[in-house]
Amino acid sequence: MKRAKMIALIAGFGFFFLALALQGILPYLMEENRVTSVAKMVRTPLGEMAEVKAEAAGYTDLLLKGRQVYIREGCWYCHSQYLRPTAGETRRWGPVSEFGEYAHDLPHLFGTRRIGPDLSRVGGKYGDDWHAAHFFDPRMVVPDSVMPRMDWFFAPNAVEGKHVLSDEGRAVTAYVQILGMN
């Protein structure tokens, strides 16, 4: 009986390390999984998406800061950034996501919930002013939104007596505006 327990224990560890190697390490080492070229999506003047082959671009300092704010604020809890190849997704959100789109994203922000809309192809769809209004009061631009207000993205402007986007607000707006466009 002791021998059977020992065999089961060794087999358990063996299967664990086999699964780790096959699902965690081997895919990382495979050349075809390190893709950096993508079918770049370009929004036409009519609002349609057109496809152009391009190399995935890295992030500028402003975009990196915006991505960090996006992660810190937990935006990815409600917004996914990955279009899955399932029925109806391409009609709702655009073309299915490709490997190369995430070449510069660590950690990946795929998300699994869709409380808010998927943001994979939102870049360029709305202007910066729309995003600013949406951060200030989401229900002002989307009446049934459940997104909380992001007042801390704004700083009072003493000259005009208005609220303007702070550095963090501008950075996260720039990050959202590049999604699906780089």
Q: From first to last of its 182 residues, what are the pLDDT tens digits of the chain?
A: 778 899 999 999 999 999 988 887 877 777 766 665 655 555 555 555 555 555 556 778 998 999 999 989 988 888 878 766 666 766 766 666 666 666 667 777 776 667 888 788 788 888 888 998 999 999 999 999 899 998 888 887 756 667 788 899 999 999 988 887 65
Dist CA 164 CA 126 (whole Å): 18
pTM: 0.66
Dist CA 30 CA 24 (whole Å): 11
pLDDT tens track for 32-58 = 666 656 555 555 555 555 555 555 567
CATH class of 58-178: mainly alpha
